[in-house]
């Protein structure tokens, strides 16, 4: 059997993560690419941490940091009357945090590749910062931005450890496809696990192929 509800939830989580993270990643990536200041290394390191830390560490901090004894957990309850842990929103917060480096780094590399001369030229032509960004830089950085989006989406589908720690495996709310596969394996249902694993494999393959195809276009076009 295939857990369609879990697949729907995974796709929703991936889309929502990309929607929230991509604008942030473009702005942060552009800022890091174009400015030089003391302490930049610290900020870059902090944004790369989720790539290095085990999901258990992130999961543990989120469980405590979003829990009912925490400022964030209490503020959320004050606003919405529900708990952040064990909810789709909580898993989304975790997903955005975990994916920061996956989204920011390709964007940053793309903006770095444009170089200061192009930016200066845009300014000379009387284009303001936002006009230059919109008409010159974004089109040039397109492949990096798409790569960031694709990697973020694919990585969210595969996220397991953090969701296992803060999700509570609630069907339709926090039981993603990766968790559902794990459940099937633990319950000795290899057929179910194999079918769902094949779906994830297919999605990941398509996503990464798209990203490379777009990256290749820019080099040859």
Partner 1 sequence: MSGVRAAVAHALCMLAALLLPSLAPSVHAQGAPRIAAAADLRPALTQLAAEFRRAGGGEVMITFGASGTLSRQLAQGAPFALFLSADEQLVFDLVRAGVAEGPGVALGVGQLAFVARRGSPLAGEVRRLGLAAAIQRAQIEHFAIANPAHAPYGARAAEVLRRTGLWDRLGGRLVLGETVSQALEFVLSGNAQCGIVAYALASDPALAGRLDLVPLPQSWHRPLVQRMVLIKRADPGARRFYAFLQTPAARRVFAHYGLVPPGGGAARGG
Q: What's the min distance (Å) between Cβ of 20 and partner 1?
A: 23
User: What CA–CA distance (Å, rounded) separates 162 from 168?
Assistant: 11
Residue from the set 69, 130, 139, 219 that interacts with partner 1 by CB under 8 A: 69
Contacts to partner 1 from residues 186-205, by CB under 8 A? 186-188
83 binds partner 1 (CB under 8 A): yes
CB 98 within 8 A of CB 162: yes
In this chain, which stretch among 23-31, 77-85, 117-125, 201-209 interacts with partner 1, using CB under 8 A?
77-85
Contacts to partner 1 from residues 32-51, by CB under 8 A? 38, 41
Angle at 196 between CA 156 and CA 12, to 5 degrees: 35
User: What CA–CA distance (Å, rounded) separates 90 from 19?
Assistant: 16
With 0-12 / 13-18 / 19 or more C-beta atoms within 10 angstroms meaning exposed / middle / buried, residue 213 is: exposed
User: What CA–CA distance (Å, rounded) separates 10 from 178?
Assistant: 8
185 binds partner 1 (CB under 8 A): yes
Q: What's the min distance (Å) between Cβ of 94 and partner 1?
A: 14
Strand boundaries in the chain, DSSP class E: none
169 binds partner 1 (CB under 8 A): yes
Give the binding site for partner 1 (CB under 8 A).
38, 41, 63-64, 67-69, 82-83, 85-86, 164, 168-173, 183, 185-188
């Amino acid at each position: 059997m295939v857990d369609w509800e879990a697949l729907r939830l995974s796709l929703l989580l991936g889309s929502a993560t990309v929607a929230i993270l991509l604008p942030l990643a473009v702005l942060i990536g552009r800022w890091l690419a174009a400015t030089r200041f003391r302490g930049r290394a610290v900020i870059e390191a902090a944004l790369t941490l989720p790539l290095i830390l085990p999901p258990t560490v992130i999961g543990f901090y989120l469980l405590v940091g979003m829990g009912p004894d925490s400022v964030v957990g209490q503020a959320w309850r004050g606003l919405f009357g529900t708990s952040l842990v064990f909810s789709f929103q909580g898993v989304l917060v975790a997903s955005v945090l975990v994916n920061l480096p996956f989204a920011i780094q390709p964007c940053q590399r793309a903006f770095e590749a444009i170089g200061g001369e192009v930016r200066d030229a845009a300014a000379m032509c009387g284009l303001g910062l936002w006009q230059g960004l919109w008409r010159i830089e974004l089109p040039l950085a397109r492949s990096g931005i798409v790569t960031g989006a694709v990697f973020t989406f694919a990585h969210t589908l595969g996220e397991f450890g953090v969701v296992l720690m803060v999700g509570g495996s609630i069907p339709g709310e926090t039981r993603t496809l990766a968790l559902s596969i794990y459940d099937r394996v633990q319950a000795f249902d290899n057929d179910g696990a194999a079918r769902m694993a094949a779906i994830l494999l297919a999605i990941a393959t398509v996503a990464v192929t798209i990203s490379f195809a777009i990256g290749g276009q820019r080099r040859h076009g």
